[in-house]
Amino acid sequence: MAPETYTLRWGIMATGGIAQTFVKDLLTNPAIRDVHDVAHKVVAVASSRSKDSAVSFLDKVKAPEGAKTYGSYHELVADPDVDIVYVATPHSHHFQNAMLVLEAGKNVLCEKALTVTASQTRKLIDKAREKNVFFMEAVWTRYQPLSVKVREIVQSGVLGPVHRVIADLSFASGKEDGSLTFPNDHRMVNRDLAGGALLDLGIYSLTWVFQILYHLQPEAEKESPKTVAAMNQYETGADESTSIIVQFPKHKTMGIATTSLRVPTNYDASGSLNPAIRIQGPLGEIHVIGMAYRPTAYKVILKNGGGKFEVVECPVPRDEARDGWGHGMFWEADECARCLRDGKKESAGLPWAESIAIMECMDSALRQGGVQYPELITTDVYDPQSPLNTGGR
């Protein structure tokens, strides 16, 4: 007899850009990615603006009939049919919004950057532990087959011990007059919404540094890094270019994570000029090609390889029955389903301790770069009636 499929029932908090992308992935047929043990159902969507936004969201993603719509986040977390809430608000809001969900005793998948401060991350994790619920930072890159494969190659030892990882995620977003393409109130540069390159993009550069240099450290030898950072600030006071050195002195390893809103990772989209990520050991290196959040290919270049290497393409499968959709976020959703099915509270792909270590690194970088965010979004005191929870703009 075929094993039963476990179906996870999702509630979606917010109706912006990434919520649409994620939900369209949830609605694809898992069989397109050869997944048969878990499946997903969107049972409710909430918008802090109005119920109408939630209705039009379901229309945009062509959701099947039956999902409920709410005009407040409070109603969503009270819905008994929701197993897990996907928090897709700006990162300024994540602490208050995710805490609202946890306090309601529900499981959470929360978009990156997980919070604005490390203290907020620690409080969320403490609450998840207290409520005995699942909690995961939505760094989808970790669950993509390319990442899994690259980690396996590193662990195979073919490069020797990896000593250095260099990773970048940058977009050229400058205009000729020196301003950026985002208006100053846009969440990319608005400090009220925790804007800046690091929390939005640099987290992916750090993801590559951490998933190789920290994640693969043996459990008994886990070492949090020392962080040295420099930032250039935009006129709004948010960081527009950031470089971080992430040092693990005991392991003698070093990561260099960069991000910028001024220059792109690569002027050549195919990535032939310059890999987004380099993972280097004494016997060779891996180049990861494409954008750091969803790379498209990798190559392993060995010292004794005679100059020959193979480019391994890793395409994202598409669902022809859903307009050819497939973005690559479904693998992290599958991870949530498997964890909940198996009674796990955290994902082995990105354990709680690692989310804290990354957030501490970003905390330190922001401090060194002199970027300051307002009290409303940095407080680690939960307030269910915070404007961040009630749709105050």
Ligand X SMILES: NC(=O)c1ccc[n+]([C@@H]2O[C@H](COP(=O)([O-])OP(=O)(O)OC[C@H]3O[C@@H](n4cnc5c(N)ncnc54)[C@H](OP(=O)(O)O)[C@@H]3O)[C@@H](O)[C@H]2O)c1
Of 88, 169, 359, 377, which one interacts with ligand X (CB under 6 A)?
88
Of 17, 160, 315, 370, which one interacts with ligand X (CB under 6 A)?
17
Nearer to ligand X, 55 or 148 (CB): 55
User: Is residue 59 near ligand X by the rule CB under 6 A?
Assistant: no
CA dist 243 → 9, 165, 357, 369 (Å): 40, 13, 17, 10
Of 93, 123, 142, 191, which one interacts with ligand X (CB under 6 A)?
93
Instruction: Return the structure tokens found at 134.
Output: 């699942």
Residues 102-121: x where in contact with ligand X by CB under 6 A, - otherwise, as a string:
---------xx---------
Instruction: Return the structure tokens found at 3.
Output: 């094993």
In this structure, what are the phi and psi dihedrals at residue 92, rounded to the nearest 5 degrees? Answer: -55, -30
User: Is residue 49 near ligand X by the rule CB under 6 A?
Assistant: yes
Of 95, 140, 208, 325, which one interacts with ligand X (CB under 6 A)?
140
Please enumerate in sequence order all residues whose Cβ is within 8 A of that of 166, keeping only pairs 6 or more positions apart, or say none: 255, 256, 277, 278, 280
CA dist 211 → 222, 289, 361 (Å): 13, 16, 14
Please enumerate in sequence order all residues whose Cβ is within 8 A of that of 242, keeping only pairs 6 or more positions apart, or say none: 196, 197, 198, 202, 229, 230, 231, 232, 258, 259, 260, 365, 369
Dihedral sign of CA atoms 90, 96, 102, 105 in order:
negative
Nearest approach, Cβ of residue 61 and ligand X (Å)? 13
Of 30, 71, 90, 271, which one interacts with ligand X (CB under 6 A)?
90
**Is there a cis peptide before residue 113, judged by omega within 30 degrees of 0?**
yes
Nearest approach, Cβ of residue 326 and ligand X (Å)? 14
Compute how many residues bind ligand X; rule: CB under 6 A.
Answer: 24
Sole window of 17-25, 157-165, 255-263, 353-361 interacting with ligand X (rule: CB under 6 A): 17-25
Sole window of 83-91, 153-161, 270-278, 299-307 interacting with ligand X (rule: CB under 6 A): 83-91
Rounded Cα gap, residues 111 and 346, in angstroms: 15
Binding site for ligand X (CB under 6 A): 14-19, 47-49, 53, 88-91, 93, 111-112, 138, 140, 187, 193, 200, 293, 393
